[in-house]
Amino acid sequence: MNVRTAVQQARANTRSGEKTFQWFVATLLTVGGLLMVLPFAWMILSSFKTEGEVTQIPPTIWPQHFTLDNFKLLFDSMAFGTYLTNTLIIVLASFFGLFLNAMAGYGFAKFQFKGKGFLFYLVLATMMIPGQVTMIPVYLILNQMGLTNSMLGIVLPGLVGAFAIFLFRQFMSDIPEELLEATRLDGAGEFRTFLQIVLPISTPIIAVQAILTFIGGWNSFLWPLIIANDEKLYTLSVGLSLLKGQNESQFALQMAGSTFMVVPIMIIFIVFQKYIIENYTISGIK
Amino acid sequence: MKGSSQKLAPYLFIGPSIILLTLFSLLPILLALVISFTDMDLSGLVNYDSIRFIGLENYTNVLLDPSFIKSLGNTLFFVIIGVPLVLIFSLSIAILINMGKSRAFKIFRVVFYLPSVTNVVAVAVVWSYLYNPTLGLFNYVLGLMNLGPVPWLTDPTVAKVSLIVLAVWRGIGLNMIIFIAAIKGIPGSYYEAAQLDGANTWQQIRYITLPQLRYAIFFVSITTMIGWLQFFEEPFVMTKGKPLDGTLTASLFIYNNGFQFSKFGYAAAGSFILFFAIIAVTLIQFRLQNKAES
């Protein structure tokens, strides 16, 4: 009797027990899962209630008077349109940063040059420096460059990141050398080789990084908060924290602001979650 | 010609990133060290001549500052309670999800991961509403069960616990994914052998899964701990460190001194003390891990 059949027999003996156990696990996870989504469900439902209904006791679950007024208010009397534009500019800029990360990853993966090892350790070292230590000097550097209270000042410090460079390097190391040589022999310059051969091959890693970059850019909070004095430069996160401070008792409005921030990310995440989770499976633990 | 462009090419590829990382990551850490020995404030920003070198004065002052000491105590409270909770929950959920045989269990990965990707400010705003003493859902549900209202954010100790509940809820997802990845890496033959020996589910977890996850557990506990030591957004949006500095964290203290009071030198000294604390705690973790190995 080989191992497999023995295991199958053991499994058959406990099949009914196994089934009960599966149900037990599923129930446990469902209860936990409901607790995980409860705050989001409450947020979305409350954002469609009138201000009067939100402060009503006992609270209603489903909106009695379904209204979009809270969302209108965000755009009409608050500057959520401006915040949205700024946030999208930051997202676009972070995609340019992603391109720079890919370039650096390629440089480290496929070239031999003087100082390579040292420079790569330098890149990795930046991962260990906590944001609290750098935030004051970075502010002073930007101030010296005359970039405080500007979009460039918000975007520049977070443009490239060591972790993304590291991931690109790992992925691009596996690109066959012959392919690159063949392109070079055809007379293509280094940069054209990168654009026309390397980037298309790297689509899987770029896709994952792009989703994570989008989420990061959309959620950006601390730098815009520090650098922007002018409301014209606020991002959605900064605008929302401002909204909470100034409209402490208007909960329906606050929930509408939160819903507006969270739902787009939820949709993007749910659509692309397979790729994100696989990326962690590949690169998370080695 | 071809040869020289080959030599230059790698530097052109890595150049932009290296320049940006040097300017906004490496140079700042040196600059922070210098600033921490000066009395630089708002006037120093306009006129460099007014900046004086004051040696270790910032460091001695900040270490004697009651609100800094309080912030370190709070941060320690968050680490001691928060890290084990995140570990236990994310590990248990990862193991449970992995036990599921049907494809439906993949949905649970998404559900438990969802809070991690959503915006921390929005989430903090939502939880402030849930925690509201009179209108909040939590106190209403407690009322239904004839339990008294809880001062979620108005009592210094309870407020700390409330922030932990929120941060654990947010922290489960990413760590759970790391654990799921690590569990998938355990060879199935180990479990088959254990089943032949008649080991039950609990024994399989105890003697195969947990020992095999040693490195993943170590990795998650280090990253989670560093994260808690830098705890900032949740207390910033929800409590601003109130009540009575009960939720003031070291990061919030540094932010307040740097950007509210413009005491750059003082805040930089505080940031280095936090940095050293992070290094020390990480080294202790590595030491403990090595001891457990041998």
Residue B20 confidence (pLDDT):
96
pLDDT mean over B275-294: 86
Is B86 in CB contact (< 8 Å) with chain A?
no
Residue B171: which residues within 8 A CB-CB, separation 6 or more? B82, B86, B90, B116, B224, B227
A25/B104 CB distance under 8 A: no
Judge contact between A206 and A102, C-beta under 8 A.
yes
Interface-testing mutation among B30, B118, B260, with chain A (most A C-beta atoms within 10 A): B118
- Between residues A275 and A6, the one the model is more confident about: A275
Question: What is the tens place of the pLDDT at every residue in B133-154?
Answer: 888 888 888 888 888 788 888 8
Of A184 and B84, the one with more pLDDT:
B84
Tell me the pLDDT tens digit for each residue of A72-107.
Answer: 988 988 889 999 999 999 999 999 999 999 999 999
A39 touches chain B (CB under 8 A): yes
> What are the pLDDT digits (tens) for A120-134?
999 988 888 888 899
- What the block records as the tokens of A12 is 């058959």
At B1 the pLDDT is 39
For residue A62, name the pLDDT band (cuts at 50, 70, 90): confident
CB B175 within 8 A of CB B224: yes
Phi, psi of B52 (to 5 degrees): -110, 145
Q: Which helix (H) or strand (E) holds B173?
A: helix B156-184
Q: Return the pLDDT at A14.
A: 61
Residue A118 pLDDT more than 90?
yes
- pLDDT value, residue B268: 94
**A285: pLDDT confidence band, cut at 50, 70 and 90?**
very low
Beta-carbon separation of B14 and A135 below 8 A: no
Helices B66-99 and B57-64 pack at an angle, to 10 degrees, of: 70
Asked if residues A81 and A75 have their Cβ atoms less than 8 Å apart, the reply is: yes
pLDDT above 70 covers a percentage of chain A that reads: 92
Asked whether the predicted pLDDT for residue A10 surpasses 80, the reply is: no
Q: With a CB-CB cutoff of 8 Å, which residues 198-217 of chain A face chain B?
A: 215
Q: Is A61 on the interface with B (CB under 8 A)?
A: no
Whole-number average pLDDT of chain B: 89
**Is residue A1's pLDDT more than 60?**
no
- How far are the Cα atoms of A278, B88, B101, B186, B203 from residue B200, in angstroms, in the given order? 30, 21, 17, 17, 5
pLDDT at A74: 87
Extract the runs of DSSP E, i.e. beta strands, from chain A.
none
- The SS3 assignment for B142 reads helix
pLDDT at position B5 is: 59
Task: Over range A174-199, report the average pLDDT.
Answer: 88
Question: What's the pLDDT at A155?
Answer: 93
Q: What is the mean pLDDT of residues A175-202?
A: 88
**Residue-level pLDDT at B255:** 94
Which whole number is the average pLDDT over B30-43? 90
**pTM of the entire structure?**
0.86
Residue B263 CB contacts under 8 Å (≥ 6 apart), including other chains: B41, B257
Q: In 3-state terms, what secondary structure has residue B38?
A: strand
Position of tokens 């409350």? A46
Q: Which of residues 4-33 of B touch A (CB under 8 A)?
A: 5-7, 9-14, 16-18, 20-29, 31-32
Identify whether A58 is preceded by a cis peptide bond (ω within 30 of 0): yes
- Running DSSP on this structure, what letter comes out for residue A194? I
- Band (pLDDT 50/70/90 cuts) for residue A4 is low
Confidence of residue B4 (pLDDT cuts 50, 70, 90): low
Written as six digits, the tokens of A136 are: 């004051």
Cβ within 8 Å, pair A285-B18: no
Compare A202 and A284 and report the one with higher pLDDT.
A202
pLDDT digit string, tens, across residues B189-232 = 898 899 898 888 888 998 899 988 988 898 899 889 988 998 99
Other beta carbons within 10 angstroms of residue A103's beta carbon come to 23
Q: How high is the pLDDT of residue B2? A: 47
Cis check for the bond before B243: say yes or no (omega within 30 of 0).
yes
In the structure, what pLDDT confidence band is assigned to residue A182 with cuts at 50, 70 and 90? confident
For the beta carbon of residue A269, count every other beta carbon within 10 angstroms.
19
pLDDT at B161: 93
Q: At what angle do helices B156-184 and B105-117 cross, to 10 degrees?
A: 130
Calculate what percentage of chain A has a pLDDT beyond 90. 44
Helices (H), A77-161: 80-110, 116-125, 131-144, 151-155
For residues A174 and A277, the model is more confident at: A174
pLDDT of the residue at A13: 59
Q: What is the rounded distance in angstroms from the CA atom of residue A118 to the CA atom of residue A103?
A: 18
| Closest to B7 (Cα-Cα) out of A182, A186, A115 | A115
pLDDT at A283: 52
Which chain A residue has its CA at the smallest distance from B35's CA? A137
Report yes or no: B274 at the A interface, CB cutoff 8 Å.
Answer: yes
B185 or A4, which is more confident?
B185
Whether the per-residue pLDDT at A286 is higher than 50: the answer is: no
Three-state secondary-structure class, residue B53: strand
Q: Using one digit for the tens of pLDDT, what is the confidence trace for A222-270? A: 899 999 888 899 999 999 998 888 887 788 899 999 999 999 999 988 8
Token reading at B205: 């977890």
Which two structure tokens, joined as six digits, stand for A145?
A: 């460059």
Closest-CA residue of B relative to A44 is B126
